[in-house]
Amino acid sequence: MAWGRSAALGVLAGTGGAVAMTVAEKLEQRITGRPDSYVPARTLERLLGLDHVRGRRARRRNLAMHVSQASLLGALRGVMAGAGLRGPWSSLLFFAVRLTNDQTFENATGVGAPPWTWPRDELVVDLVHKAVYAFATGAVADALANRWGPGPGQLHAQRLPGRRPDVGPLPRE
């Protein structure tokens, strides 16, 4: 599958992952009573040098950061799926990418702190929500990529299992 098409389909998958994560967050908040987090909005404000806002404007900024990060990162997951990195293992790898992305921006802007310093309950909630995102994005990206057949990595694995640098994928017919 072409890189551009894989990335574009990944953007769609990432948007779907953002929806799944948002639904999971709202469900969790109803159960736990946890208020909304405005860390994404504050991070966006610091990245763009914007004044701090509250209320409806903060919610819009939160949503903008939430969806834009999820969609753009989805492009990577789409490329992974196009290359043949599909399934739960690939989504687990992508989970680490999502966490790394968030933590890099939040810590670089001074909005966040390293996760190992967080209270355990906050850490668990964040990890669960990011896992929902990563696996939902992966499921959509994989389903879209499967429409075009196996990726090069899958062809290589089918030809001769294991890590073998001297065996390439079968040529496409």
Residue-by-residue pLDDT tens, the chain, 173 positions:
588 999 999 999 999 999 999 999 999 999 999 999 999 999 999 999 999 999 999 999 999 999 999 999 999 999 999 988 999 999 999 999 999 999 999 999 999 999 999 999 999 999 999 999 999 999 999 999 989 877 776 766 666 666 666 665 555 54
Whether residue 7 is contained in a domain is answered as yes
Quote the number of domains for the chain.
Answer: 1
Share of the chain above pLDDT 70, in %: 87
Query: Which residues fall within 8 angstroms of residue 102, CB to CB, at 6 or more apart?
Result: 69, 112, 130
Instruction: Quote the CA–CA distance of 125 and 132 in Å, as a whole number.
Output: 11
Torsion angle (degrees, nearest 10) of CA 135, 2, 4, 133? 0
For 16-153, where are the E strands, in sequence order?
none
Whether residue 9 is contained in a domain is answered as yes
Q: What is the largest CA-CA distance in the chain?
A: 59
Q: Which amino acid is at 151?
A: G
Whether residue 171 is contained in a domain is answered as no
Q: What angle do CA 77, 135, 95 make, to 5 degrees?
A: 65
Whether residue 169 is contained in a domain is answered as no
Whether residue 39 is contained in a domain is answered as yes
Query: Which residues fall within 8 angstroms of residue 129, CB to CB, at 6 or more apart?
Result: 21, 24, 25, 28
Q: What angle do CA 12, 99, 46 make, to 5 degrees?
A: 90
Whether residue 168 is contained in a domain is answered as no
CA distances to 70, 128, 133 from 6, rounded to whole Å, are 16, 26, 18
Q: Give the HSE-up count for residue 35: Cα atoms under 13 Å, Cβ half-sphere.
A: 4
Instruction: Work out the number of other CB atoms within 10 angstroms of the CB of residue 80.
Output: 24
- How remote is the C-alpha of 101 from its chain's centroid? 9
Phi-psi region of 46 (alpha: psi -120 to 50; beta: other; left: phi over 0): alpha
Whether residue 148 is contained in a domain is answered as yes
Residue where the block lists tokens 């810590």: 107
Q: Which domain holds residue 74?
A: 3-159
For the segment 94-135, what is each residue's pLDDT rounded down to a tens digit? 999 999 999 999 999 999 999 999 999 999 999 999 999 999
